[in-house]
């Protein structure tokens, strides 16, 4: 993370999930050796696999919850028995993420490609930050994702794009093309924040 300017939050999207002893080593690598502020973490191994990433108040984790890829529903949308009735697994994961947040330093990954699920997650987690992949090469609809996931203060989303930005140009035009692609996405996000759908004007 040494190449990232100070003041910019850096998130290592490594989706790690391992037993406690190994998770501690991954957390040291990400937070101490590489100096990232946060990391994405896979929840399948449960609480002790997440703990090393969330126990420090100055670092945080985004729990992989509802991802943007075609196979996401295979496990994440399975219906699970809970004391409140049946719910999709990703909702149980979101509630676990809230429980695992010790220092208001935990968010969830909620893919832009499934805005209905983002909306449901925002109902369950009104104040959690959402990391939202899937708007670039994966073709999620920015406006739909923003309208579904924005919080009561019209904030709460970190919308990331990788391939659509870093491959926006090449050769001498590289820097300008990448800058323009990033600005277009930023402007599109902000335009969607400004215009709530279906609430009048």
Check binding of 102 to its own copies (CB under 8 A). Answer: no
Which residue among 1, 10, 13, 15 is the active-site one? 15
Compute the least distance from the CB of residue 195 to its own copies, in Å: 30
Tell me the C-alpha to C-alpha distance, in Å, between residue 160 and each of 67, 89, 163, 173, 198.
13, 24, 10, 22, 25
Compute the least distance from the CB of residue 58 to its own copies, in Å: 23
What do you get for the CA distance between the two ends of the chain, in Å?
Answer: 42
- Looking at 12, 43, 101, 192, which residue binds its own copies (CB under 8 A)? 43
Check binding of 37 to its own copies (CB under 8 A). Answer: no
Check binding of 197 to its own copies (CB under 8 A). Answer: no
Is 99 annotated as catalytic?
A: no
* Phi then psi dihedrals of residue 81, to 5 deg: -75, 125
Q: Are 54 and 107 in contact (CB under 8 A)?
A: no
Total residues at the site for its own copies (CB under 8 A)? Answer: 40
Check binding of 103 to its own copies (CB under 8 A). Answer: no
Check binding of 139 to its own copies (CB under 8 A). Answer: no
Largest CA distance in the chain: 59
Compute the least distance from the CB of residue 175 to its own copies, in Å: 24
Check binding of 70 to its own copies (CB under 8 A). Answer: yes
Taking alpha carbons only, the member of 113, 188, 200, 187 closest to residue 143 is: 188
CA atoms within 13 A on the CB side of 74: 5
Check binding of 25 to its own copies (CB under 8 A). Answer: no
Question: Closer CB to its own copies, residue 96 or residue 105?
Answer: 96
- Looking at 9, 19, 166, 191, which residue binds its own copies (CB under 8 A)? 19
Alpha carbon distance 133, 110 (integer Å): 7
Alpha carbon distance 59, 56 (integer Å): 6
- Looking at 73, 158, 177, 182, which residue binds its own copies (CB under 8 A)? 73
Cβ neighbors of 33 (< 8 A, separation 6 or more) are none
Check binding of 33 to its own copies (CB under 8 A). Answer: no
Check binding of 76 to its own copies (CB under 8 A). Answer: yes
- Looking at 4, 9, 25, 137, which residue binds its own copies (CB under 8 A)? 137
The residues annotated with a catalytic role in the active site are: 15
């Amino acid at each position: 993370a040494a190449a990232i300017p100070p003041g910019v939050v850096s998130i290592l999207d490594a989706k790690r999930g391992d037993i406690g002893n190994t998770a501690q080593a991954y957390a040291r690598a990400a937070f101490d050796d590489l100096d990232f502020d946060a990391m994405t973490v896979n929840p399948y191994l449960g609480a002790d696999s997440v703990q090393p990433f969330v126990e420090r108040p100055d670092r945080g984790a985004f729990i992989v919850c509802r991802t943007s890829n075609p196979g996401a529903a295979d496990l994440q949308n399975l219906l699970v028995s809970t004391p409140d009735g049946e719910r999709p697994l990703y909702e149980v994961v979101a509630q676990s993420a809230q429980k695992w947040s010790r220092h208001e330093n935990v968010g969830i990954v909620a893919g832009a490609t499934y805005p209905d699920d983002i909306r449901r997650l925002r109902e369950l987690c009104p104040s959690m930050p959402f990391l939202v992949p899937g708007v670039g090469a994966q073709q999620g609809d920015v406006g739909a994702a923003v309208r579904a996931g924005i919080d009561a203060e019209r904030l709460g989303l970190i919308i990331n794009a990788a391939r659509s930005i870093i491959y926006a140009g090449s050769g001498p035009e590289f820097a300008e093309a990448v800058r323009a692609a990033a600005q277009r996405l930023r402007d599109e996000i902000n335009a969607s924040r400004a215009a709530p759908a279906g609430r009048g004007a």
